Amino acid sequence: MNDAAESDEALLARFQCAAFDYFLSHCNPANGLVADTSRPGSPSSIAVVGLALSCYAVAVERGWMTRAAAAARTLATLRFFWTSEQSEAGDATGYKGFYYHFLDMHSGRRAWQSELSLIDSTFLLAGVLNASVYFSADSGDEGEIRALAAALYGRVDWQWAQGDAPTVRQGWKPDSGYFHYGWEGYSEATLLYVLGLASPTLPLSPESYGAWTATYQWENIYDCEFLYAGPLFIHQFSHAWIDFAGIRDDFMREKGSDYFVNSRRATYVQREFARRNPHAFRGYSEQCWGISANDGPGLKTLAVGDTERRFYGYAARGVPYGPDDGTLAPCAALASLPFAPEIVVPALRTLCERYPRLTQASRLPGGFNPTLPGAGPEGWVSEGYFGLDQGFIVLMIENHRSRLIWQLMRRCPYVAVGLRRAGFTGGWLRPP
């Protein structure tokens, strides 16, 4: 494929379709669970399942799946979660309406002694609610999808997730209880608060959102003012489902901005950091950037040329304070498409030109590190693919192309209620 001759639309469609293919290739159709990664033996990640549920709507609209097939797979997923064990048992699937981060692909039970993850459960529930809006037909399958979605969302005990703390806990384990730390600083948890506040049964306390946003930091970095968070994914995950353009909470009213504009600025700060490239990593440039939470070469210190370099495994890399080990997250860069297409598309084209081996399958790996010598100019490359990366690529490209997910979620009553309870006003939240 001559990438330069390919239109932007065709280029994006190619990468979006290839990313969606992950969900067809790594799903257990019996229970709807989707593997965390393409690596052999990978368990399912509930966040990836949530992404899959949203991606099916995209696939139907794009003609990659029939509506019936998408509904069937969605229904299998929702039936599994509804009937799976919810208890304090160490091998249950979930507890209090939340789910363990990783589940066995076949049995659906807790894997890897993982935590009951509030944020990953949020992404799962976002997918569930997204499906309930999309599958709006009167057919039996689609009606059951809506009923199960309401039941799954309604049984979540958000109040339990808050415990006695002013903000939501990060997780829980059956043997040790709540994690003793919560969310501090701006993060991907906006969606968690929105869904938690909107619950018709056991909502978060109204004050919890304000307690969390009290930890925000508005920074002027490289002459760009924004609500700071280091890893790029933080500026994307909640945005995959919610259109934040034009709506503002107290914090953004104070700053005269909104979270969409904020993500755009964060994207530009990422690019500026790569342009400055303070640690002199190979490959970083104005056209090649993207520093986020992603796979890495593994924890080791190596001499590369005259410099001793320390590398990390899977880690939340961030800009500008680090950690930064020269590992780039191409999927995160692409997922910023709706915020700054004028710099994201050129970045994708640069990837294709500079590192053809990375992009030949039109599917991007979880990370690569040109500083660490490998088989080609791309250096070290993450093995296989991560479902989280592929899911956000599908959704963010779609939001850029058609705004489909954003439009669907605007129709989800819980999203609007949650946003209003968090103090958001204006824009599309205005009464018609």
Partner 1 sequence: MWPWGCAVPGLPAAGFGRHDSYQDLGVLVSPDETNAGAAWSEGEGRAFLESVHPPDWKNPHPAGTYDFVILGAGPAGLLAARGAAILGRKVALIERNLLGGNCLNVGCVPSKALIRTSRLYARMRAAQEVGVPRPEKIQIDVAAGMQRIRRLQARLARTDSATGLREHGVDVYFGAARFAGPTTVTVAGAALRFKKALIATGARPMAPEIPGLIEAGYWTNENVFALAAAPRRLLVIGGGPLGCELAQAFCRLGSQVIIVQNEPMFLPGEERDAAQILSDSLARDGLEIHLNTQVVAVRGQGAQKLVELASDDNRTSVEVDEILTGIGRAPNVEELNLDAARVAFDTTTGIRVNDFLQTTNARIYAAGDVCLAHKFTHMADATARIVLHNALLRGRKRLSALIVPWCTYTDPEIAHVGLYVRDAREQGIPVKTFTILMHDVDRAVTDGDEEGFLKIHVKEGTDEILGATVVAPHAGEMINELCLAMTAGIGLEELGHVIHAYPTEAEAIKMAADAYYRMRLRTARA
Binding site for partner 1 (CB under 8 A): 113, 115, 173-176, 179-181, 184-185, 214-221, 223, 225, 228, 230, 254, 276, 278-279, 301, 306-308, 310, 318, 320-323
Indicate the residue among 26 and 317 with the shorter CB distance to partner 1.
Answer: 317
| Distance, CA of 150 to CA of 273 (rounded, Å) | 44
Indicate the residue among 160 and 179 with the shorter CB distance to partner 1.
Answer: 179
Nearest distance in Å: CB 352, partner 1: 30
Nearest distance in Å: CB 165, partner 1: 14
Indicate the residue among 62 and 317 with the shorter CB distance to partner 1.
Answer: 317
Say how many residues make up the chain. 432
User: Could you identify the residue written with the tokens 């709706």?
Assistant: 338
Asked if 101 and 388 count as a contact pair (C-beta separation under 8 A), the reply is: no
Nearest distance in Å: CB 375, partner 1: 28
| Distance, CA of 142 to CA of 133 (rounded, Å) | 10
Nearest distance in Å: CB 366, partner 1: 21
Indicate the residue among 221 and 429 with the shorter CB distance to partner 1.
Answer: 221
Indicate the residue among 39 and 310 with the shorter CB distance to partner 1.
Answer: 310
User: Could you identify the residue written with the tokens 């956000």?
Assistant: 392
286 closest CA partner among 302, 271, 269: 271
Indicate the residue among 140 and 177 with the shorter CB distance to partner 1.
Answer: 177
Indicate the residue among 221 and 417 with the shorter CB distance to partner 1.
Answer: 221
| Distance, CA of 59 to CA of 56 (rounded, Å) | 5
Nearest distance in Å: CB 231, partner 1: 11
294 closest CA partner among 337, 330, 329: 329
| Distance, CA of 294 to CA of 303 (rounded, Å) | 23
Own/partner pairs for 21-29, CB < 8 Å, 24+ apart? Answer: 21/363, 22/363, 22/385, 22/387, 22/390, 22/391, 23/51, 23/52, 23/55, 23/56, 23/59, 23/387, 23/390, 23/391, 23/394, 24/65, 26/387, 27/52, 27/73, 28/105, 28/106, 29/73, 29/76
Nearest distance in Å: CB 396, partner 1: 27
Nearest distance in Å: CB 110, partner 1: 12
Chain center to CA of 77? 19
